[in-house]
Amino acid sequence: MKNSANATTVLVTGGSGYLGLQCVLQLLQEGYTVKTTIRSLAKKEEIIHALTTGGIHHFDKLTFIEADLTKDDNWMEAVSGCTYVLHVASPFPAVDPADENEIIVPARDGSLRVLKAARDAGVKRVVLTSSFAAIGYSRSPENYTFTEQDWTDPSTPGLRPYLKSKAIAEKAAWDFMKREGGDMELTVINPVGIFGPVPGGNYSASMEFVLKGLLNGDIKETPNFTFNIVDVRDTADIHLRAMTHPEAKGERFLAASEGSVSVYDIAVLVRRERLQHAANIADLKPLGAEVYVHLSAEKARKVLGWKPRAKEITLLDTIDALSGVEGRDHKR
């Protein structure tokens, strides 16, 4: 525990979420005083249980506030007394809604609500969880390496609502800062697909679908794409680094571990490292020369000294956790 962190209060929005919970856990481990917003206080006990599983046994430094991104209520109370805000909450549904505004409006207006309240309360810095969705969906990935310089144009034809919501919300946040941010600072984290074990086992539907589907044989063919991943533990870590690092002010940081994977690559990894799962995995074929998305997370490594785990460790730890085996908390 860092003593310097003791006097500092941090708000995490969405402490009930996969990443939000991990941020709360790491902040408490670091000795910060933590406030977290949740949509319903009914989730409080579940969160405390998950944090206990994660090794937290004293909750005197954690406060819950009920707040919804679509309503003004309680946001001032949530940010009051905070030096930093990690704005993690945003709708991330497993299925696209019929009306894209169901996702876009809370994402955009919620970010603006949090930023306005934070500015008015004298918060020093907000770290906003954006996504690779706000970076890499408006140009062909062929022969190209995506960086923080790239932006997804929300008017790109066929862009799915979630991807659009992240691009629109991040753009709105930067515009707000330019126009009326005052002395407050903004830093943005743009993670790729987040995987990895969390206390309490609150996994995203897509992650369970891919990994459980592979392990129980439901996935019969290798889908025609590769994807980039980042560990949830490293994603929380990059948020904490971005929160205090002087050079993070006004910057975006892509968060990704090295290289990309296909479902076939995961099958090969599981067969090699977790023999007990091999029997159910369907006989998959490798991908050919299909679309590989290349991106660089060098900036976070250089500026923040961030060192994400290898993707193989993240995948195996996730598989262990999903199959009820205690995840081995490998360090890089």
- Secondary structure (3-state) at 193: strand
CA distance 193 to 49: 26
| By the rule CB under 6 A, 113 interacts with ligand NAP | no
Q: DSSP of 178-190, one letter per residue? A: HHH-TT-EEEEEE
> Contact between 85 and ligand NAP (CB under 6 A)?
no
Residue 196 falls in which region: left (phi positive, over 0), alpha (psi -120 to 50) or beta: left
**Euclidean distance between CA atoms 5 and 230, whole angstroms:** 26
Q: CA 180, CA 317: separation in Å to the nearest integer? A: 43
Residues for the chain: how many in total? 332
Are 239 and 314 in contact by the 8 Å Cβ rule? The answer is: no
> What is the distance, to the nearest Å, from the Cα of residue 261 to the centroid of all Cα atoms in its chain?
18
Nearer to ligand NAP, 20 or 161 (CB): 20
From the number of C-beta atoms within 10 Å of its C-beta (0-12, 13-18, 19+), residue 3 rates as: exposed
- State yes or no: residue 16 binds ligand NAP (CB under 6 A): yes
106 touches ligand NAP by CB under 6 A: yes
Residue nearer to ligand NAP on the CB measure, 196 or 327 = 196
Does 92 participate in binding ligand NAP (rule CB under 6 A)?
yes
Stretch that binds ligand NAP, among 18-26, 55-63, 245-253, 256-264 (CB under 6 A): 18-26
Give the one residue of 20, 161, 181, 200 binding ligand NAP; rule: CB under 6 A: 20
Q: Is 68 in the site for ligand NAP (CB under 6 A)?
A: yes
Q: Does 54 bind ligand NAP (CB under 6 A)?
A: no
Report in angstroms how near the CB of residue 188 gets to ligand NAP at its nearest.
11
Q: Amino acid letter at 33?
A: T
**Min dist. Cβ of residue 206 to ligand NAP (A):** 7
Q: Which of 34, 47, 89, 242 binds ligand NAP (CB under 6 A)?
A: 89
In three-state secondary structure terms, 171 is helix
Residue nearest to ligand NAP (CB): 17
The residue among 91 and 200 lying less far from ligand NAP, judged by its C-beta, is 91
Distances (CA, A) of 181 to 83, 120, 121, 132, 187: 15, 9, 12, 24, 12
Residue 5 structure tokens: 């962190």
By CB under 6 A, residue 44 contacts ligand NAP: no
Q: Which stretch binds ligand NAP (CB under 6 A): 63-71, 118-126, 172-180, 280-288?
A: 63-71
Point out the catalytic residue in the list 116, 164, 166, 311: 166
Can 166 be counted among the known catalytic residues?
Answer: yes
Q: Which of 115, 127, 135, 194 binds ligand NAP (CB under 6 A)?
A: 194
Q: How far is CA 113 from the centre of its chain?
A: 20
Is residue 108 near ligand NAP by the rule CB under 6 A? Answer: no
Among 90, 187, 260, 318, binds ligand NAP (CB under 6 A): 90
Which residue's CB is nearer to ligand NAP, number 121 or number 188?
188
Rounded-to-integer distance, Cα 299 and Cα 230, Å: 15
End-to-end CA distance of the chain: 20
Q: How far is the CB of 196 from ligand NAP (least distance, A)?
A: 10
Q: Select 184 or 256, whichever has its Cβ closest to ligand NAP.
A: 256
* 119, 271 Cβ separation under 8 angstroms: no
Residues near ligand NAP (CB under 6 A): 14, 16-20, 39, 68-70, 88-92, 106, 129, 131, 166, 191, 193-194, 204
Q: Which residues are catalytic?
A: 166
